[in-house]
């Protein structure tokens, strides 16, 4: 491929991150991407390059936004933790305290904590959504409130790929009177001047990159042939039914459309720049958003040792997320995808985006891109190469001091 011009800067000692970023274009067919790293509150890596669309008509800029899929979950969880900080939300209280309608179908005792840790058994309603209804917040929440859990809540974990955002987001809305995206913007990303949106305003759409190569419904069925195709007779009794319905709960239209970008799907359609995500995680790492006790709770495992994930394990039994530890809304650093500190925490997104905080090292990291590649675990080789380079640079820089 043609050489790609990489723009931006690296602080002295971090030049290896630029080299790794450039290699991603040569070796991993990167189209457009950005990476940002802060250390002790200072931005030490700020790089971008490539194209914002498949046609080559737009260059990637320093503040280009792109759909980061499930990297949105870290932002959604943060909103809940801010309410905990303020005494407005008790994670051990029943969800029904804040959302009374949720008490139906045997869910009256499910605590908020289990929503954040993927233990509520609420992968999806029992019936697939009609076309376009994923954009109807009240319709989705009503369907979830009426749904019985797919397993006994609290006894197992299973990644709530799409419903996580509606479940946590509705609790936030019931407490604050604001949608999740509005609350995030008013309380976090606006004050930080961070380019992160859940429900991206139309005026921001011109700086959104197009996602290229994402899987559609037919490709998902081809990739995961054992999944039932809803609706089918007896679907509720199929062992993979919840996973199948979770996948159908994603809007089937174009993820580059204005309708998708403007909608609020807080588990999966944040549009963010690398600078923006890094700014939020830097504020977390630096203790500027929550107190130390809340920070510790966010990254404390809610999983049993070696506990399988019923949803991710069903899709990829040998994959990096088949057994995974969840914090309170965050992926824990089980496999070094967030560097050598086991206490680092963050969230990845389908396609390959990844962002995390490493409070012990005063470091925050964010990588975003528009070529749909790896899964949500942070194990995409493009991000792994960048993270490896970041920590090699950090060791060298600190070794000189």
Q: Which residues have a catalytic role annotated?
A: 70
Rounded to an integer, what distance in angstroms lies between the CA atom of residue 193 and that of residue 198?
Answer: 15
DSSP H or E run through 292:
helix 292-298
Report how far apart, in Å, the C-alpha atoms of 354 and of each of 187, 223, 363 are. 22, 23, 14
Torsional sign, CA 323, 325, 330, 333: negative
Q: Which of 27, 66, 347 is nearest to 200 (CA)?
A: 66
Rounded to an integer, what distance in angstroms lies between the CA atom of residue 399 and that of residue 391?
Answer: 12
Task: List CB contacts of 83: < 8 A, sequence separation 6 or more.
Answer: 89, 172, 175, 176
Tokens of 259: 């309708």
Q: In sequence order, what DSSP letters do the residues of 318-377 get, joined into one string?
A: TSTTSB--B-SSSEE-TTSTT-S-TT-EEEE-TBS-EEEEEGGGTEEEEEEESB--B-SS
- The DSSP bridge partners found for residue 201 are none
Q: Are 92 and 167 in contact (CB under 8 A)?
A: no
Tokens of 26: 């040569």
The dihedrals phi and psi of 111, each to the nearest 5 degrees, come to -80, 160
Q: Left (φ > 0), alpha (ψ -120 to 50) or beta: where does 177 sit?
A: left
């Amino acid at each position: 491929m043609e050489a790609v011009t990489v723009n931006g800067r690296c602080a002295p000692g971090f030049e290896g991150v630029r080299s790794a970023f450039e290699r991603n274009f040569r070796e991993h067919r990167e189209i457009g991407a950005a990476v940002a790293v802060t250390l002790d509150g200072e931005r030490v890596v700020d790089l971008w390059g490539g194209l914002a669309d498949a046609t080559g008509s737009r260059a990637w800029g320093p503040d280009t936004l792109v759909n980061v899929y499930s990297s949105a979950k870290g932002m959604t969880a943060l909103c809940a933790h801010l309410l905990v900080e303020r005494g407005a939300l008790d994670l051990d209280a029943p969800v029904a305290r804040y959302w009374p309608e949720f008490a139906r179908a045997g869910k009256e005792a499910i605590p908020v904590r289990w929503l954040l840790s993927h233990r509520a058994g609420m992968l999806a309603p029992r019936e697939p959504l009609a076309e376009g209804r994923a954009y109807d917040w009240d319709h989705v929440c009503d369907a979830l409130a009426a749904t019985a859990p797919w397993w006994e809540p609290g006894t197992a974990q299973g990644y709530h790929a799409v419903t996580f955002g509606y479940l946590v987001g509705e609790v936030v809305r019931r407490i604050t009177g604001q949608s999740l995206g509005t609350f995030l913007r008013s309380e976090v990303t606006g004050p930080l001047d961070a380019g992160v949106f859940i429900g991206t305003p139309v005026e921001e759409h011109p700086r959104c990159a197009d996602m290229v190569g994402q899987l559609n419904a037919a490709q998902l069925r081809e990739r995961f042939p054992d999944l039932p195709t809803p609706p089918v007779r007896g679907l509720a009794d199929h062992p993979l039914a919840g996973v199948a319905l979770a996948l159908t709960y994603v809007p089937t239209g174009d993820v580059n459309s204005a309708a998708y970008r403007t909608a609020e799907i807080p588990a999966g359609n944040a549009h963010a720049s690398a600078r923006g995500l890094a700014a939020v995680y830097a504020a977390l790492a630096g203790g500027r958003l929550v107190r130390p006790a809340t920070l510790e709770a966010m990254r404390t495992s809610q999983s049993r040792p070696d506990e399988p994930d019923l949803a991710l394990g069903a899709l990829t039994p040998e994959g990096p997320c088949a057994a995974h530890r969840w914090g309170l809304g965050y992926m824990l650093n089980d496999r070094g995808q967030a560097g050598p500190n086991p206490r680092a925490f963050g969230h990845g997104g389908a396609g390959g985006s990844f962002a995390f905080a490493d409070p012990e090292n005063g470091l925050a990291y964010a990588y975003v891109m528009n070529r749909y590649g790896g899964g949500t675990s942070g194990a995409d080789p493009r991000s792994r190469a960048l993270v490896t380079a970041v920590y090699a640079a950090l060791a060298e820089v600190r070794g000189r001091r």
